[in-house]
Every structure is written in structure tokens, then in C-alpha cells.
């Protein structure tokens, strides 16, 4: 094996090396064994087929009773006996098929031995010559083929599977080696300029980059850089992208590993992988270790009393020990990301471990426009395309959603046969992502279409006459998604972070406008308003329980808490802190509020 293919010291086989083959792909470990394994299978099958063919093609084998009758009639003059067959030679010098036998005679009949004490007496009476024949060579070969070869093959396969399951390691202990993806210095192409919409988070991480580039500036004054930085935010906001940008700006090796990759079915594997990860990171310092989905191993250990995961807790304990064990000036920085900070263990968040939390929130309209500009760099846009309008039409979208909008717009332009992406392509892409795919082929009778048309018109009319409602951009009666028969698209003028009581009541009015239009026009209602009713009921209930907007319990929160230890909100079992009378008041108030807003609509 050449020097390039040998694993470096303390580097597991399963680590993605930066050395590449001529085609730019990582060197596959133990590549030659694939061909050897195939040859072994072919050889075993060939030998088995050959033995079966030889045994089945021997037409001289006859039943024992017939063989004994031939002896009685004097047709057999000599018999060779072994453990497998009685081989009888006829009195004629040749067989009826013309094949010569040994000593001028023909081997014509074979029979499987049967326990028969009278058979030797019959041979003596008929004057048949019989003798035992040694078959030691065949017995040895049969033993090898029947026992040694299959057992050896099974052992070989077991070893092969063991090595592959443990990450191609040299022994079973290699299962404890980490599965981190190591990206060498200079291989990370992402920079801060590639990240938009999270300016505050980038400012927090500039210090991390500066420390990795100029650690002496901090050590001379006695300052310490945070050991761990936890990126917290909803899915798709760019936490992983930020971590890669930090590594790219600093120009240091980048270890990337998911929290789920630490925990396996074997007890102790997760802790061993944590030790191995930090061992490799110290050898390559300064570097960055990024653990994605930290909540997979960092959940609070308080819940363990209710039946926790011992392996996960051991992994978490080892992570806590390792983060206490390295010096803050060693150049090793831990970055982690999670979208569930509420379930993390408090010991993981204390100063000295993940002592800095960076919030990566959903972008505002300015951030969304900047993200759209970045993702549109490689897309041919029409000069008249206004990305500001697209950003305004996508409130609540994160970076991943906006990247999907740009890609969908490009695909729609190609589908329409255009060479550039126009504004209408972005509008259709936003509608597709928000409401689902159009189902123009769905067959609906005219009466149903008429009901849907009046229903959606009711939403639009109420929205137009409600001052607190967002303006309507589009109304459609084309079925979409998995159940929507139509939709009324409302686009807010600006991002809102505080919602007033009048605004919430206005939303309920718009939701109830569809059913109100049905009843006024047709004198009856339909199931088309089921989703509207659910949303209106939810808003009304939250106004009472969460926002303190009821008359009796003004400014009082009637929320539920977790039934677990310390009232963890992540517990699936929720208990309320109020009695049946209060619950009855909530239900009656919700029903009354929805009824009043329905009459208003």
C-alpha cells in the first residue's frame, strides 16, 4: 500500500481525508476486498454445482434391493465396499454402454449400503469377491468442502461486516472513533459575505474569527475568548452556514459532526467518540469543531428519572468533561447549533462551556431582500424584476425558504420556455410554496365551484372593509395542495412584531367572512370553512389563555405547563393550573367571541 493510502496517526479510516484520487473522489478503503469476496462466492458455487452434477449424472446407481437381486442371480462377480457405495462389477467384460471398467471389467452398478447381516452370507454363497476400499482422500476433500470451507467463509464475512460496521477500523475498538467530517484549511469557501439577514449574529462571530487569526492580541491583555458558541434559531435560518463562514474566514480546519452521530446502539460508543473528536481537534488546533443538532445529545438529564437514555447521558457527561478540560487559549473553539434551546441541559449552557448564545432569528424585510440578492447571483433575472416586492410578499420566510423561492422561480421560467426569470415567476413561486401546487386537472362540478368562488370572495370583501386586516393580493378558486379548494392571499405592508387586540379580532372577521358569504348567498353552509373555523377558534382561545384579553381574566395568563419534573415545557404531558369552572368560562367565551365575529362578518 502506498504512503498516500495509509491512514495518518490517530486518524480513523472513516474520516474524510483531503487527499483525493485522480478523479477527485476520496480513496475507498479496502477496495480490493470487493473482488476477492466475489471470487470466493463464485468458487464455492462452482464446486457445489460440480459435485451435484457429478453425483446426479451417475446412472449406475440402483436401489439396494435390485443390487441384491443382481448378486443373487450371479450377474455381479466382484464388489468394492466403502462407506458411501457398494460398487459391483458385472461378469461381462464391458458395460452395455461400452465404457470399460477396471481390470477388464465394467463398473456397472452402485448401491447405497444398508444394514443387512445376511448380505455377506449371500456373497459367500455366490462366490462373489468383495473387499473394502479406502476413500481417505475423498473423505478429507468432502470434510473440507462440507465443513471447513463454509465455516471459513462465514468467519470471513463476519469479519468483513464487522470492519464495515465499525467504520473500516482495524478492530472492534474502532467503533469508538468519531465520524466527523474534517474539512482542511482553505477548503471552506464560505465567507461572511455569503451570509445575509443575520447581521447581529455575524458581528458576534467576528470576535471568534479574530481570535483564531490573532490570538496574541487577546492573551496579552488577559482576555479569554468564549470556549463555546451556541447558535440558536428556527430551522433554515443559516446556523450551519454561519459556522462554515467562521471557519472560512479564519482559515482553520473545520470539524463537522451531527449530534445524532455520537449515539449508537452500543453503550459507551458516544462517550468514546467525544473523546476521539476532541483528541483530533487538539492535534489540529487552532480549529473549529461544529456540532449540529446539539439537542440530540444535550437534552436535560432531569427527565432521566422518567426513563431516559443512559447512552445519551453518558455522551453528554463526556462532552461536559471535555469542554472543561481544554484551555481557552488553545485555539480550539466549539460551535454548536440547535433549534430547541429549551430542552438543553443547564450544565451545558453555564459560563465556561457554551457561555455565548447567538440568536439567529428569522430575517426582516431588509434581510430577506439581501438573501434573495445572494441567491439570485447565479440566476439570470429580468432587469424589471423587483426583489423588494418578493421580500415583502414572504413574511416569516427563512433563508432556506427564500433559496427555494429563487430556485422555483428559475424552474418555472424554464418550464415556460423563457431565458430569464421575470417578476411573475417569483410571484408564482411564492404562491406555490405557501399554498401548494395547483391542481388544474381536478374535476369539480359547477355548483361546488360557485360555492368556493363566493367563499373566497367573502374573505376578500371582509378584508377590504376591515381596517386592521392585511391587504388582499390575490384570490384563486383553483384547488391547491392536499385539501385547499381555493385561497385568498393577504400580504402585509410591513413586518409586525406586536399584534393588537383589534388586529386579532380583524383576523377572525376575515376568517369567518367565507362562511358568512356562503350562508348569505345560498342559505346554507358547507365544510369548506373547516380550516377557517379551526384558526379562528385557536386565535380566540389564545387571546384568553395566553394574551390576557378576556373580561374576567384581564391580564392573567391561563397557560398550561409540563407535567414532568420542574415543569419542563417540552414534556408531552401538559397539565392546566386552573379548575373546571375556569375551563368552562374559556370554552364559553371562545364560542361567544367566534359567534360575535361571525355576525360582524
pLDDT in tens, 431-484: 888 888 888 778 788 888 999 999 999 999 999 999 888 888 889 888 887 777
Q: Computed from CA positions of residues 140, 142, 143, 148, in that sequence, does the dihedral angle turn out positive or negative? A: positive
Are both 58-90+107-134 and 446-566+573-600 of the same fold?
no
Cα separation of 345 and 259, whole Å? 14
Give the H or E element holding residue 542: helix 530-545
Cα separation of 409 and 526, whole Å? 35
Mean pLDDT (whole number) for 192-206: 88
What phi, psi does 450 have (nearest 5°)?
A: -65, -40
Pick from 253, 271, 358: nearest CA to 319:
271
In the beta sheet, which residues pair with residue 254?
183, 288
The answer to whether the CB of 235 falls within 8 A of the CB of 401 is: no
Q: How confident is the model at residue 38 (pLDDT cuts 50, 70, 90)?
A: low
What phi, psi does 394 have (nearest 5°)?
A: -125, 55
Residue 350 confidence (pLDDT): 84
Domain boundaries, the chain: 58-90+107-134, 192-301+309-359, 365-435, 446-566+573-600
Residue 515 confidence (pLDDT): 93
Mean pLDDT (whole number) for 203-215: 84
Helix axes 64-72, 118-126, angle to 10 degrees: 30
Residue 511 confidence (pLDDT): 94
Cα separation of 41 and 46, whole Å? 9
pTM: 0.64
The answer to whether the CB of 337 falls within 8 A of the CB of 239 is: yes
Predicted confidence (pLDDT) at residue 497 exceeds the cutoff of 50: yes
Q: How confident is the model at residue 40 (pLDDT cuts 50, 70, 90)?
A: low
Per mean pLDDT, which range of 46-50, 73-77, 361-365 is the poorest? 46-50
Residue 541 confidence (pLDDT): 93
C-alpha cell at 362: 428569522
Q: What does the mean pLDDT of the chain come to?
A: 78
Predicted confidence (pLDDT) at residue 266 exceeds the cutoff of 70: no
Is the pLDDT higher at 389 or at 223? 389
The answer to whether the CB of 295 falls within 8 A of the CB of 345 is: no
Give the H or E element holding residue 53: helix 33-57
Only one residue has cell 427527565, namely: 303
Is the pLDDT higher at 203 or at 40? 203
Domain 446-566+573-600 of CATH type 1.20.58.760 = yes
Predicted confidence (pLDDT) at residue 389 exceeds the cutoff of 80: yes
Radius of gyration (C-alpha) of the chain in whole angstroms: 39
| DSSP for 280-347, written as a single string | HHHHT-SEEEEEESGGGT-B-GGGGGGT--HHHHHHHHHHHHHHHHS-TTSSEEEEEEES-GGGB-HH
Residue 269 confidence (pLDDT): 76
Only one residue has cell 452402485, namely: 110
Q: What class does CATH assign to 365-435? A: mainly alpha
Predicted confidence (pLDDT) at residue 308 exceeds the cutoff of 80: no
Is the pLDDT higher at 384 or at 113? 384
- Top mean pLDDT of 10-24, 106-120, 196-210, 537-551 is at 537-551
Mean pLDDT (whole number) for 279-292: 85
Mean pLDDT (whole number) for 388-412: 92
| Domain at 192-301+309-359: CATH code | 3.40.50.300
The answer to whether the CB of 254 falls within 8 A of the CB of 288 is: yes
Pick from 535, 581, 533: nearest CA to 558:
581
Residue 314 confidence (pLDDT): 81
Share of the chain above pLDDT 70, in %: 75
Residue 288 confidence (pLDDT): 86
Residue 402 confidence (pLDDT): 94
Name the maximum alpha-carbon separation found in the chain. 123
Cα separation of 396 and 401, whole Å? 9
Residue 7 confidence (pLDDT): 40
CB 407: neighbour CB atoms within 10 A? 13
Is the pLDDT higher at 160 or at 570? 160
Residue 174 confidence (pLDDT): 47
Residues catalogued as catalytic = 456
Predicted confidence (pLDDT) at residue 586 exceeds the cutoff of 80: yes
Residue 44 confidence (pLDDT): 63
Q: 116: alpha, beta or left, given left = phi > 0 and alpha = psi -120 to 50?
A: beta
Contacts of 180 (CB under 8 A, 6+ apart): 15, 255, 256, 257, 277, 280, 289
Q: Where are the alpha helices (DSSP H) in 416-500?
A: 423-435, 446-465
Is the pLDDT higher at 157 or at 309? 157
- Top mean pLDDT of 4-8, 95-99, 208-212 is at 208-212
pLDDT digits (tens, 9 = 90+) for 158-198: 777 776 665 544 444 444 455 555 655 557 788 888 889 88
Residue 135 confidence (pLDDT): 58
Only one residue has cell 360555492, namely: 451
Predicted confidence (pLDDT) at residue 21 exceeds the cutoff of 50: no
Cα angle 591, 597, 601; round to 5: 140
Predicted confidence (pLDDT) at residue 260 exceeds the cutoff of 70: yes
DSSP three-state, residue 584:
helix
Is the pLDDT higher at 336 or at 443? 336
Only one residue has cell 408564482, namely: 428
C-alpha cell at 461: 370583501
Predicted confidence (pLDDT) at residue 50 exceeds the cutoff of 70: no
Residue 97 confidence (pLDDT): 45
- The CATH-assigned architecture of domain 58-90+107-134 is 2-Layer Sandwich (3.30)
Per mean pLDDT, which range of 91-95, 525-529, 592-596 is the poorest? 91-95
Per mean pLDDT, which range of 11-20, 233-242, 344-353 is the poorest? 11-20
Across 464-573, the runs of DSSP E, i.e. the strands, are 472-476, 487-490, 560-562
Amino acid at each position: 500500500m502506498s504512503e498516500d493510502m495509509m491512514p495518518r496517526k490517530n486518524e480513523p479510516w472513516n474520516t474524510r481525508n483531503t487527499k483525493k484520487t485522480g478523479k477527485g473522489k476520496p480513496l475507498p478503503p479496502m477496495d480490493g476486498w470487493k473482488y476477492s469476496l466475489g471470487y470466493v462466492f463464485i468458487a464455492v458455487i462452482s464446486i457445489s454445482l460440480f459435485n451435484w452434477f457429478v453425483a446426479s449424472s451417475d446412472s449406475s446407481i440402483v436401489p439396494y434391493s435390485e443390487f441384491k437381486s443382481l448378486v443373487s442371480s450371479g450377474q455381479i462377480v466382484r464388489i468394492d465396499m466403502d462407506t458411501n457405495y457398494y460398487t459391483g462389477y458385472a461378469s461381462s467384460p464391458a458395460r452395455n454402454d461400452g465404457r470399460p471398467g477396471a481390470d477388464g471389467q465394467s463398473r456397472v452398478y452402485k448401491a447405497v449400503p444398508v444394514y443387512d447381516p445376511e448380505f455377506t452370507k449371500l456373497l459367500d454363497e455366490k462366490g462373489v469377491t468383495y473387499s473394502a476400499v479406502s476413500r481417505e482422500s475423498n473423505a478429507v476433500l468432502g470434510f473440507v468442502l462440507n465443513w471447513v470451507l463454509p465455516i471459513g467463509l462465514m468467519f470471513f464475512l463476519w469479519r468483513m461486516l464487522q470492519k464495515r460496521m465499525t467504520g473500516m477500523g482495524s478492530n472492534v475498538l474502532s467503533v469508538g472513533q468519531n465520524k466527523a467530517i474534517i474539512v482542511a484549511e482553505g477548503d471552506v469557501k464560505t465567507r461572511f459575505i455569503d451570509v445575509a439577514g443575520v447581521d447581529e449574529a455575524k458581528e458576534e462571530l467576528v470576535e471568534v474569527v479574530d481570535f483564531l487569526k490573532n490570538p496574541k492580541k487577546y492573551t496579552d491583555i488577559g482576555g479569554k475568548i468564549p470556549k463555546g458558541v451556541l447558535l440558536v434559531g428556527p430551522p433554515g435560518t443559516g446556523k450551519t452556514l454561519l459556522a462554515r463562514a467562521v471557519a472560512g474566514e479564519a482559515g482553520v480546519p473545520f470539524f463537522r459532526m451531527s449530534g445524532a452521530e455520537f449515539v449508537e446502539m452500543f453503550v459507551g460508543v458516544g462517550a468514546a467518540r467525544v473523546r476521539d473528536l476532541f483528541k483530533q481537534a487538539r492535534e489540529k488546533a487552532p480549529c473549529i469543531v461544529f456540532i449540529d443538532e446539539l439537542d440530540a445529545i444535550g437534552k436535560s438529564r432531569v427527565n432521566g428519572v422518567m426513563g431516559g437514555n443512559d447512552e445519551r447521558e453518558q455522551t453528554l457527561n463526556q462532552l461536559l468533561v471535555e469542554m472543561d478540560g481544554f484551555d481557552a487559549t488553545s485555539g480550539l473553539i466549539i460551535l454548536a447549533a440547535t433549534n430547541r434551546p429549551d430542552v438543553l441541559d443547564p450544565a451545558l449552557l453555564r459560563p465556561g462551556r457554551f457561555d455565548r448564545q447567538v440568536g439567529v432569528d428569522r430575517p426582516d424585510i431588509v434581510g430577506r431582500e439581501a438573501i434573495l440578492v445572494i441567491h439570485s447571483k447565479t440566476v439570470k433575472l429580468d432587469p424589471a424584476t423587483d426583489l423588494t416586492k418578493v421580500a415583502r410578499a414572504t413574511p416569516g420566510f427563512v433563508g432556506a425558504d427564500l433559496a427555494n423561492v429563487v430556485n422555483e422561480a428559475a424552474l418555472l421560467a424554464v418550464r415556460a420556455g423563457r431565458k430569464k426569470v421575470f417578476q411573475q415567476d417569483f410571484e408564482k413561486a411564492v404562491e406555490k410554496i405557501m399554498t401548494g401546487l395547483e391542481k388544474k386537472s381536478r374535476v369539480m362540478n359547477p355548483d361546488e365551484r360557485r360555492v368556493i368562488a363566493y367563499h373566497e370572495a367573502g374573505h376578500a370583501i371582509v378584508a377590504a372593509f376591515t381596517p386592521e386586516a392585511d391587504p388582499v393580493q390575490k384570490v384563486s378558486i383553483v384547488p391547491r395542495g392536499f385539501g385547499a379548494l381555493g385561497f385568498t392571499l393577504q400580504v402585509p405592508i410591513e413586518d409586525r412584531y406586536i399584534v393588537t387586540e383589534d388586529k386579532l379580532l380583524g383576523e377572525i372577521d376575515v376568517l369567518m367572512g367565507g362562511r358568512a358569504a356562503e350562508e348569505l348567498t345560498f342559505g346554507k353552509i358547507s365544510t369548506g370553512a373547516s380550516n377557517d373555523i379551526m384558526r379562528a377558534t385557536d386565535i380566540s382561545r389564545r387571546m384568553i389563555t395566553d394574551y390576557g384579553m378576556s373580561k374576567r381574566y384581564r391580564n392573567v395568563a391561563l397557560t398550561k405547563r409540563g407535567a414532568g419534573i420542574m415543569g419542563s415545557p417540552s414534556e408531552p404531558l401538559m397539565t392546566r393550573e386552573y379548575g373546571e369552572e375556569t375551563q368552562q368560562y374559556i370554552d364559553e367565551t371562545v364560542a361567544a367571541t367566534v359567534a360575535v365575529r361571525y355576525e360582524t362578518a
